[in-house]
């Protein structure tokens, strides 16, 4: 049977991480699709290079670019690889000032995953493993919605299956997460933290027995250990729990990850890369038991936008579709909705798309907003838990159902 293993940036941030990856893949009996992110914080670093180039700060861009290359060269050397011979890294920065920013973004930022997978594939090969490097921009076909490309499932599935089902295929395939390509050969990206999604898609295409995300945490915890003192591991969750957790802001898996797996009932395992034999968490159609601890999920960087009809029309009855049309067209991600007779409020991620959306909404409604907010979702809440969560915080809005509370909270400096 085949399995998909996904390694995030933190797990391959240095040579030791790559050696650890080698131990983990060596221990697997199965055919493996290994999906890898960019090493360490490379994606953020590449974003800074692009910002500098776009702002005309060429020297600064170049020096940061050199740092990124040096970082990869140092890892290669520590792994006993010869830079320029075993792996030839990109020489020039792919940037074309005549192209739109977002298109440049995809051409440049995708190099993080290209570099990490090239290094890892060559290293594994040199360690005697049976390995093949796959170039996802040629295999995972997408449209050209830069930075949030939409995957063409049918086209991608047939190319990837053809490669995977080949009789002489090596046992291990190393592929980039997060990136794909258009039919005319330009690279695209699937949205930040999108490697989990790639792993799920590949799991679906090759009918994997399971998909494992190797992380720097023991599994899925009931709260962020940096924010709550006593966290516990949730050993088993249903797909719907996982969707809700990631939608609420849990950083553990990318929100798009579940659907391709649920479609084929492929379990998703979240395991600690530092302790491969630990059980971790398993997300599947049937959870072994209920989640019996309260779960705290923070979604940061929120903005609460309130729309009021200019002529006192009943917003809910008359304008709902218009509002959501604007929200959808402007690629806003809604995290919570609240309405009254004449207003509707939406909490959304405060992304670069927000100003244009507000401008569009302003044409039809009176718009007010609050930013610097977080959304705290507590699943399995009780009145006592809710009181404790509210204490000392500025709450702009609170929605509760029997078991779940959602609080829109002013961001404090200690969060
Ligand atoms: N390297 C990309 C990012 O940091 C994708 C990923 O890590 O999943 O967003
Ligand atoms: Mg990453």
Quick check: 370 and 401 in contact, CB under 8 A? Answer: no
Closest CA to 214 of 415, 413, 25, 396: 25
**Stated pTM of the model:** 0.83
Report strand pairing: 343-349 vs 334-339.
antiparallel
- For residue 9, how far is its CA from the centre of ligand 2 (angstroms)? 5
- For residue 215, how far is its CA from the centre of ligand 1 (angstroms)? 13
Residue to mutate, 35, 42, 194, ligand 1, most ligand atoms under 8 Å from C-beta: 194
| Cα–Cα distance for residue pair 312/316, rounded to 1 Å | 11
Pick the ligand that lies closest to the CA of residue 192. 1
Chunked mean pLDDT (size 10), the chain, 415 residues? 95 97 95 98 97 95 96 97 88 92 97 98 97 98 96 97 96 98 96 94 98 91 78 87 74 83 94 93 82 83 91 68 90 90 90 94 92 91 89 92 91 64
Q: Give residue 216's pLDDT.
A: 86
Cα-based distances in Å from 406 to 104, 116, 249:
38, 39, 12
| Cα–Cα distance for residue pair 36/12, rounded to 1 Å | 8
Q: Give residue 415's pLDDT.
A: 46
Q: Helix 42-54 crosses helix 101-109 at what angle (to 10 degrees)?
A: 140
Q: Give residue 320's pLDDT.
A: 82
Looking at the CA of residue 198, tell me the nearest atom of ligand 1: 8
Quick check: 315 and 308 in contact, CB under 8 A? Answer: yes
Each residue of 246-295: pLDDT tens digit? 766 666 788 789 999 998 999 999 999 999 999 999 999 887 766 778 88
Quick check: 242 and 219 in contact, CB under 8 A? Answer: no
Looking at the CA of residue 191, tell me the nearest atom of ligand 1: 9
- For residue 110, how far is its CA from the centre of ligand 1 (angstroms)? 9
Q: Give residue 220's pLDDT.
A: 87
Q: Give residue 75's pLDDT.
A: 98
CB atoms within 10 A of CB 110: 25
Each residue of 174-208: pLDDT tens digit? 999 999 999 999 999 999 989 999 999 999 999 99
């Amino acid at each position: 049977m085949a399995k998909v293993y996904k390694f995030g940036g933190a797990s391959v941030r240095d040579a030791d991480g790559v050696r650890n990856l080698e131990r983990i893949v060596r221990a697997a009996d199965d055919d493996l699709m290994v999906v890898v992110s960019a090493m360490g914080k490379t994606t953020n670093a590449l974003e800074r290079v692009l910002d500098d180039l776009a702002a005309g700060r060429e020297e600064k861009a170049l020096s940061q670019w050199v740092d990124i290359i040096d970082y990869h060269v140092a890892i290669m050397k520590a792994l006993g690889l010869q830079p320029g011979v075993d792996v030839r890294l990109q020489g020039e920065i792919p940037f074309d000032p005549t192209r739109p920013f977002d298109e440049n973004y995809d051409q440049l930022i995708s190099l993080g995953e290209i570099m990490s997978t090239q290094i890892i594939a060559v290293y594994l090969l040199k360690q005697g493993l049976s390995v093949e490097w796959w170039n996802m921009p040629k295999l995972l076909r997408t449209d050209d919605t830069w930075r949030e490309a939409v995957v063409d499932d049918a086209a991608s599935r047939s190319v990837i299956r053809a490669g995977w089902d080949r009789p002489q295929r090596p046992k291990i395939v190393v592929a980039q997460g997060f990136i794909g390509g258009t039919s005319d050969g330009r690279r695209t990206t699937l949205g930040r933290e999108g490697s989990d999604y790639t792993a799920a898609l590949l799991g679906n295409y090759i009918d994997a027995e399971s998909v494992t995300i190797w992380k720097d945490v023991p599994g899925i915890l009931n709260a962020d250990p940096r924010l709550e003192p006593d966290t516990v591991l949730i050993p088993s969750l249903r797909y719907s729990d996982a969707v809700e957790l990631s939608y609420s802001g849990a950083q553990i898996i990318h929100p798009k990850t579940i659907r391709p797996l649920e479609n084929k009932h492929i379990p998703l395992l979240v395991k600690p890369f530092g302790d491969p034999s630990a059980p971790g968490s398993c997300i599947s159609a049937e959870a072994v038991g209920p989640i019996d601890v309260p779960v705290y999920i923070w979604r940061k960087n929120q903005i609460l936008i309130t729309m009021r009809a200019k002529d006192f029309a009943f917003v809910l009855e008359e304008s709902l579709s218009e509002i959501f049309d604007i929200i959808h067209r402007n690629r806003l991600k809604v995290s919570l909705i609240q309405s009254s007779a004449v207003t509707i409020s939406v909490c959304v991620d405060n992304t670069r798309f927000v100003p244009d959306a507000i401008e569009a909404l302003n044409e039809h409604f009176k718009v007010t907003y609050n930013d610097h907010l977080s959304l705290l979702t507590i699943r399995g809440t009780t009145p006592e838990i809710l009181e404790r969560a509210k204490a000392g915080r500025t709450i702009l809005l609170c929605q509760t159902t029997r078991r779940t509370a959602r609080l829109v909270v002013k961001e404090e400096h200690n969060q």
